[in-house]
Amino acid sequence: MLLIKKQELIDSVPKRWYKEYVSRQGLLACDKQGVLDKLHALEKPLNEQEVNKIIGNSSWTYLKCDVCEKETDAILCIKPLDYCPYENRGVRICNDCMVKGLNKF
């Protein structure tokens, strides 16, 4: 299990952007490198609105619960079991949904 907080997600955008768009030769396409340079130029902690403006959307900073589908400031990511290879990202659950689930026991 892994707790993911929104600010940590936002601060990790440059690293995740690089990892997503780096080529096998270790190079980024020009348009992707320009975005990465702008992200690296931002002051820490990164600002969500500034990151979204540079990228052009909020998909890199949006943290959503898989159960209630609401945006949240933190989620618990529960990794899938080894025998479920079709879902490698895990299930992301907010605090409210986790409490509701635990109360069912």
Neighbours of 25 (CB within 10 A): 5
Quick: pLDDT tens for 28-84: 777 888 999 999 999 999 999 999 999 999 999 999 999 999 999 999 988 765 554
Q: Tabulate helix, strand, coil % of the chain (nearest 5).
A: 40, 15, 45
* pTM of the full structure: 0.82
> Residue 76 in contact with residue 1, Cβ under 8 Å?
yes
In 3D space, the residue among 76, 80, 81 whose CA is nearest the CA of residue 97 turns out to be 76
Span 84-93, pLDDT tens digits: 444 457 889 9
